[in-house]
Structure 1
Amino acid sequence: MHSTTPISSLFSFTSPAVKRLLGWKQGDEEEKWAEKAVDSLVKKLKKKKGAMDELERALSCPGQPSKCVTIPRSLDGRLQVSHRKGLPHVIYCRVWRWPDLQSHHELKPLECCEFPFGSKQKEVCINPYHYRRVETPGDFAVIL
């Protein structure tokens, strides 16, 4: 007797940590991609004592000061999630704060961030509350 469960569902197990972090996700497009991005992040953060707790604290208390949550910087600075490459701080700011974020030009690190993406350190902060969104020149409407 064959099971009627599609093979894809056998691989769709989501860890409790990923489910918790996805609870703060903004927007609902690209659900599977966001899940993969968060799953990848959880695997990296579990290797660092206190990193998961710090990220959850930042996401659950957006107005409160929080520490940097870092991952190792890759050679080209980008992170690959499911055949798409992107800058890690942009990816996680898109998941948890601004689903319509298009580029790193729209983000500026806050003073409190010790490992901003632009500092070219070995670690990069992906705490979405260590960045603020800025308007890019293309955001202004032309009024005639």
Structure 2
Amino acid sequence: MKETGVVVNIKGALATVKVKRPAASKGCCHFDTTKDEFLEAYNNCNAAVNDTVSVESEVETEKRQAFIKFGLFIAAFMIGLVGGYYVAGLFNAANLNGLFSIAAALLAIVITHIVYKRLNGEAKRIPVINEIVYNT
């Protein structure tokens, strides 16, 4: 998602950018329905304070990753249910099919969560200043 904003502060490789975003409530009146928000972004273009810049964030990538994670959890849950049903059959515990299924499904979700977290990490995704629109 690309946004345009003004650089208000620079700290090393990071810049604080003020962007205008829609307010939470969109009224029917003729008032300004935007609010100022501040983003921390990598300053790859060496922008200076008061420069108007274009900032690109990874919102679409994060949405796609959340969808994939949700799909993985659902798949793990279903595999756990089916696997638990068959494990109960191996132990000749037909009256405990449900218990085995739920326990295996929860175990599959926990294992999937641990593996997913290890592979992707919990790193903070920071937007990037990709161009200077206007120099001051």
Scaled by the length of structure 2, what TM-score is found? 0.22
Which of 1 and 2 has higher RCO (CA within 8 Å, sep 6+)?
Answer: 2
Higher strand share: 2
Scaled by the length of structure 1, what TM-score is found? 0.21
